[in-house]
Structure formats: C-alpha cells, structure tokens
C-alpha cells in the first residue's frame, strides 16, 4: 500500500513538473481588445481565443477594454509590466498611442496592431494586420452609384465610434465616391458607436429631423443597422429592396447577411473578423527570426440582396449564408 502511494506521488510530481515546463514553453501574448460592442467584435474575440490556445503553444492574456481608451492603455501597460512576449492591440481610437508604443519598444516587446489602425508612424510598432476600411467605404459608394444609376440620393449616415479607424476609413472611402456624384447629398452623419442601441437612437432622431427627406441610410456596422431597422419599423418607414429607403451596412456577419438574403439590407460590405491566424503567422515568423511585412491585409467581400446584380458585390444565396463561418 505504502509502495503504491509512493509511486502515485512520484507520478503526480512528474506530471506537475512536465506541465510547469510546458507552461514555461508557451508564448505569452497579451490582447487588448476593443470591447464587446458588436456581433463582429464577439466573432473576432472568439477567433482569437480559438487560435491562441495552449494546444497551439500560447498563453493568452485577454482584456476586454469595454470601448474605454483609458482601460485599453492600462491593459497594454500591464502587459509590458508582466513582460509578455507579444502585445496585440485592436485600438479603440487611432489617437493617443505614441507614449505607450514607445514604452513597449523600450521594453523590447513586439507590438502587433490588429483590426483597426493607429495614428502613429509604423516604426513605432512591429506590424499591422487588418482589413482596408477605406476600400470598404469605397465599395459601398461604388455599389450605390451603380444601383442608383444617376438618380438622386439623399443620404443619412450612422457612423461607428468617433475617432476609430473603422469609422474614419469607411467615411473617407464613401466620401471619395460621393464627391463625384453631385446628385448625392449627405444630409447628416452621426455616431451610433457601433452598437444596436446607438443605431436605433440615431435613426430615431434622424426620423424626427428629416421625415420623408431621405432615401438612403448607411450604417457603419450590422448592429447599428438592426437598430436603424427597429426605428424605421416603429415609424412605418420601409427599407430594403421593396422599400422606400436603400439600406447599406458593413460587417456581413451571419445575422447581417440573413437580413441581406431577406432583402432588408440592400448591400452589406464585409469586414472580415477572422484575423487571428494571420496574427499567429506573424508571431511564428518573428519567433523564427524572420522579417515580417509592415501590413498584412485581411481581404473582404461585399454582398447584395437577391434580385440585385453588381460588379462590386456577390448576390446573396441560402448556400452562401449556410457556408458563412461567423
């Protein structure tokens, strides 16, 4: 009995030693995530948690910054203090990063800017991975121009978070196209903070301020579009392919594309949240001592409702929707 016990204890000690050695071998990565403001964000978070696992050789320190810049800066500083191997930042806003990026650089910790961009010289961080948000805006604009075929457009925009590269880029891209269309008028543009509640609130206020004066609504993400749809439903305003208002959205999440397939969203420009594998690839290269590109582009598509054909977007089908991973 005593022998058995001693054997068991020895086995437990060996296992403990092995697992602590394994834990030491893991690459320690800190991820300062924007928050949980949208379905897109949640899909992006799940993607990171599924890729940066112990089985894949990583220990992930994840901080949901709840759309608060101060919390995000604090999270990055705590990663530096903990001397993690890599820091991933999905910046809430573009501004205000120079000091903390310099601190990470001084500490010798590579920083990967993910999803959104920062207003800092690329020499201040290691690399960036994300979608082209200006191009997303241009795609929405090009599709609208093709669909309107010269007809007047009175446009209301529900923007994303003020100061975020996602909102700035989509506005810039859309405006690049709008400037060539004197028959378009952007009546108003307000932030819905990328949330459903924000989208609904802004749309309710637009409906009061501009009754019957608009025929296009552009929402910077799917959740804002759901809020805008609720507000228009309550006001008896019809939208989508059979409606009075053309509805454009960004993200192309599964729920957003379900509405696109139903014809409620005319055009949905993708922002691909499945980005973690690209970041992992960058880290693997750095671990191997290889050089990395300054920017890794995550490619997007665009989708339009059934009955619409476009050179800029794919017409939605039930098969396409079933195949969507998020």
Q: Considering the rule CB under 6 A, would residue 116 count as an interface residue with ligand AHR?
A: yes
Q: How far apart are CA 84 and CA 296, in angstroms?
A: 23
Minimum distance between the CB of residue 254 and ligand AHR, rounded to whole angstroms? 13
**Dihedral sign computed on CA atoms, order 163, 164, 165, 166:** negative
Residue ranges in 10-29 that form contacts with ligand AHR under rule CB under 6 A = none
* Choice between 41 and 135, CB closer to ligand AHR: 41
Judged by CB under 6 A, the residue of 138, 251, 270, 300 near ligand AHR is 251
144 within 8 A of 250, measured Cβ to Cβ:
no
Which residues from 51-110 bind ligand AHR, rule CB under 6 A? Answer: none
If one asks whether residue 120 binds ligand AHR (CB under 6 A), the answer comes out as no
Q: CA triplet 228, 240, 42: central angle to 5 degrees?
A: 50
For ligand AHR, the closer CB: 59 or 301? 301
Which lies closer to ligand AHR via its Cβ, residue 33 or residue 127? 33
Is position 166 an interface residue for ligand AHR (rule: CB under 6 A)? Answer: yes
Residue 222 CB contacts under 8 Å (≥ 6 apart), including other chains? 38, 39, 40, 249, 250, 251, 252, 253, 255, 256, 259, 268
Minimal distance, residue 220 CB to ligand AHR, in Å = 7
| Site map (CB under 6 A) of ligand AHR, residues 135-164, x = contact | ------------------------------
Tell the smallest beta-carbon distance from residue 223 to ligand AHR (Å): 6
The sheet that has 58-64: what strands, in order across it?
58-64, 27-33, 86-89, 111-114, 127-130, 295-297
- Report the C-alpha gap between 236 and 58 in whole angstroms: 51
| Residue among 75 and 109 whose Cβ is closer to ligand AHR | 75
Which residues in 175-204 contact ligand AHR (CB under 6 A)? 194
Selected binder of ligand AHR within 79, 97, 250, 303 (CB under 6 A)? 250
- For residue 296, the minimal CB distance to ligand AHR (Å) is 16
Q: How far apart are CA 141 and CA 261, in angstroms?
A: 20
Q: Based on CB atoms, which residue is closest to ligand AHR, 174 or 194?
A: 194
Going by C-beta distance under 8 Å and a sequence separation of 6 or more, which residues neighbour residue 215? 152, 153, 154, 244, 245, 246
Chain residues 35-54 in contact with ligand AHR, contact rule CB under 6 A: 37-38, 40-41
Q: Whole-angstrom Cα distance, residue 255 to residue 321?
A: 9
**Nearer to ligand AHR (CB atom), residue 27 or residue 201:** 201
Task: Give min distance, CB of 273 to ligand AHR, in A.
Answer: 8
Question: What is the rounded CA–CA span in Å between residue 246 and residue 184?
Answer: 13
The mark string for 257-276 relative to ligand AHR (x by CB under 6 A, - otherwise) is --------------x-----
Give whichever of 28 and 135 is closer to ligand AHR, judged by the CB atom. Answer: 135
Q: Can you tell me which of 86, 91, 115, 159 binds ligand AHR, judged by CB under 6 A?
A: 115
Kindly indicate which of the ranges 32-40, 47-55, 57-65, 75-83 contains the residues binding ligand AHR, using the contact rule CB under 6 A.
Answer: 32-40
**Least distance from C-beta 133 to ligand AHR, angstroms?**
7
Question: Can you give the binding site for ligand AHR, defined by CB under 6 A?
Answer: 37-38, 40-41, 115-116, 166, 194, 221, 250-251, 271
């Amino acid at each position: 009995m005593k022998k058995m016990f001693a054997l068991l204890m020895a086995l437990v000690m060996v296992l403990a030693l092995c697992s602590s050695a394994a834990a030491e071998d893991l690459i320690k990565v800190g991820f300062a995530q924007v928050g949980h403001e949208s379905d897109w964000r949640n899909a992006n978070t799940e993607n990171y948690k599924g890729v940066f696992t112990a089985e894949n050789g990583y220990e992930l320190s994840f901080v949901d910054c709840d759309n608060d810049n101060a919390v995000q800066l604090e999270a990055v500083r705590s990663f530096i203090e903990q001397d993690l191997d890599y820091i991933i930042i999905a910046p809430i806003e573009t501004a205000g990063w120079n000091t903390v990026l310099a601190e990470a650089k001084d500490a010798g910790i590579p920083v990967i800017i993910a999803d959104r961009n920062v207003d800092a010289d690329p020499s201040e961080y290691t690399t960036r991975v994300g979608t082209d948000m200006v191009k997303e805006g241009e795609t929405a604009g090009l599709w609208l121009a093709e669909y309107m075929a010269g007809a007047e457009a009175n446009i209301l925009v529900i923007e994303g978070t003020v100061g975020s590269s996602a909102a700035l880029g989509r506005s810039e891209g859309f405006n690049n196209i709008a400037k060539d269309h004197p028959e378009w008028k952007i009546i108003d543009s307000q932030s819905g903070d990328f949330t459903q509640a924000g989208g609904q609130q802004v749309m309710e206020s637009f409906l009061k301020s501009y009754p019957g004066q608009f025929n296009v609504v552009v929402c910077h993400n799917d959740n804002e579009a759901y809020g805008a749809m609720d507000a228009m439903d309550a006001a008896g305003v019809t939208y989508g392919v059979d409606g009075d208002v053309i509805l454009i959205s960004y993200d192309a999440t599964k729920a957003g594309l379900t509405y696109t397939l139903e014809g409620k969203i005319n055009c949905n420009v993708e922002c691909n949240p499945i980005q973690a594998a690209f970041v992992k690839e960058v880290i693997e290269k750095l671990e191997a001592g290889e050089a990395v590109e300054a920017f890794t582009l995550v490619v997007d598509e665009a989708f339009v409702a059934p009955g619409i054909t476009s050179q800029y977007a794919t017409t939605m089908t039930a098969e396409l929707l079933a195949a969507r991973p998020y």
